[in-house]
């Protein structure tokens, strides 16, 4: 151990000498960047470490702190139109057996809202449909305000928001779908006492993705690769010409 310390100290001294020589001789040729980068990287890593320490301190379980269960659970299913993802979200919310269950929609177009009510009554959905007004055709703020009011009278209540989402297989399809859901989740995650549940609905494009190759430990290191099976075209027989 002592010899190891001596060797490490000897190497550290020579490394320091080389560093000083290079900084002096090559300072104007770009070595000044090292003088700037090293303190910046050191300060950044220290700040990251302090961040993790603060987060760890906030998540420590305190023995004297009592664990309180929520008084009631309010389930809110966000509805934009009447389709299969909406029915799946409603079924999943009913299966959790909350204290209250409400289907919530935002009225941004009177004609579409009336059509939604007709479809709701036509399918005889056993969940009340709550319509909130939005004079400025905004969806996020009215929904967040409605959910905050649910916990205003009883802060110990928990609100579980179910959001139907599409699962797509192409990257550009994400730009065309789920944008309103992403904005709502981004706002609701900052509201205390609110749980956000994504209810996925797999579209056809999600099942057409190329299958992922699974390797066992050590296969890649040994050069063993397994390619996914390739569908071969059926053999075509050419009739013999006589």
Give me the chain's average pLDDT, please: 85
Confidence of residue 218 (pLDDT cuts 50, 70, 90): low
Q: What is the DSSP string of 65-94?
A: S--PPPS-EEEEEE-SSSSHHHHHHHHHHH
Q: What is the structure's pLDDT at 128?
A: 92
Helix (H) or strand (E) holding 133: strand 129-133
Contacts with 133 (C-beta within 8 Å, 6 or more apart), sequence order? 106, 107, 142
> What is the predicted pLDDT for the residue at 102?
94
Are both 121 and 43 inside the same structural domain? Answer: no
Q: Are residues 78 and 198 in the same domain?
A: yes
DSSP-assigned beta bridge partners for residue 131: 105
Spatial distance between the Cα atoms of 40 and 102, rounded to a whole number of angstroms: 52
What is the CATH classification number for the domain harbouring 192?
3.40.50.620
Residue 156: pLDDT band (50, 70, 90) is confident
Is 60 exceeded by the pLDDT of residue 237? no
Global pTM reads 0.71
Question: What is the count of structural domains for the chain?
Answer: 2
Gap between the Cα atoms of 199 and 196, Å rounded: 10
pLDDT tens digits, one per residue of 73-102: 999 999 999 999 999 999 999 999 999 999
Q: Note whether residue 158 is domain-resident.
A: yes
- Evaluate if residue 235 carries a pLDDT over 60: no
For position 40, what pLDDT does the model report?
A: 95
Residue 239 is predicted with a pLDDT of 46
- Considering the domain architecture, whether residues 98 and 192 belong to the same structural domain is answered as yes
Average pLDDT, integer, range 222-232: 57
Q: Which domain holds residue 12?
A: 2-58
Q: Mark whether 172 and 78 lie in a shared domain.
A: yes
* Cβ-contact 199, 162 below 8 angstroms: yes
Provide the percentage of residues in the chain whose pLDDT is more than 70: 86
């Amino acid at each position: 151990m002592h010899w190891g310390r001596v060797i490490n100290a000897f190497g550290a001294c020579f490394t320091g000498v080389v560093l000083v020589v290079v900084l002096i001789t090559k300072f104007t040729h770009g070595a000044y960047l090292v003088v700037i980068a090293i303190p910046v990287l050191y300060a950044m890593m220290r700040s990251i470490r302090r961040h993790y320490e603060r987060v760890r301190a906030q998540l420590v379980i305190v023995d004297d702190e009592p664990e309180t269960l929520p008084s009631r659970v309010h389930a809110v299913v966000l509805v934009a139109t009447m389709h299969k993802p909406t029915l799946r979200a409603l079924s999943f919310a009913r299966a959790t057996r909350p204290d209250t269950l409400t289907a919530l929609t935002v009225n941004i177009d009177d004609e579409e809202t009336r059509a939604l009510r007709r479809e709701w009554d036509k399918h005889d959905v056993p969940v009340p449909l709550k319509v909130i007004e939005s004079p400025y055709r905004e969806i996020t703020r009215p929904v967040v305000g409605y959910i905050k009011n649910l916990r205003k009278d009883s802060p110990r209540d928990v609100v579980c928001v179910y959001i139907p989402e599409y699962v797509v297989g192409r990257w550009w399809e994400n730009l065309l779908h789920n944008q309103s859901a992403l904005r709502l989740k981004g706002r609701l995650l900052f509201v205390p006492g609110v749980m956000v549940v994504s209810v996925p609905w797999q579209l056809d494009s999600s099942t057409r993705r190329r299958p992922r190759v699974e390797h066992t430990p050590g296969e890649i290191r040994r050069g063993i690769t397994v390619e996914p099976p390739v569908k071969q075209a059926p053999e075509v027989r050419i009739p013999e010409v006589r």
